[in-house]
Amino acid sequence: MTDFFNPGPHANSTDPGGHKANHDVNAQKYHTEGPPGLWRQISDLVIAIAVIAFFIFVIMWIF
């Protein structure tokens, strides 16, 4: 397991081709998802907040 002071063997990668390939894949993903990806993240956040609020409401109602 890696930690903050010893990030492990992949922290200082010297493979610029691999870094560029990773960047290209991520860039393509962001270009294809675009705003729908943002709206999906926002809706997931709203759902998570609603579930947490529901649990708090139930706990307050019981006690």
Q: Is residue 5 part of a domain?
A: no
Q: Which domain holds residue 45?
A: 34-63
Per-residue confidence (pLDDT) for residue 38, from 0 to 100? 77
Q: Is residue 20 part of a domain?
A: no
Q: Is residue 55 part of a domain?
A: yes
Tokens coding 28: 């393509």
For 13-59, the pLDDT digits (tens) are 567 778 888 888 877 877 777 667 778 889 999 999 999 999 999 99
Q: Is residue 39 part of a domain?
A: yes
Structural domains counted in the chain: 1
Q: Is residue 15 part of a domain?
A: no
Residue 41: name the closest of 30, 52, 53 by CA: 30
Reported confidence tier of residue 8, pLDDT bands at 50, 70, 90: low
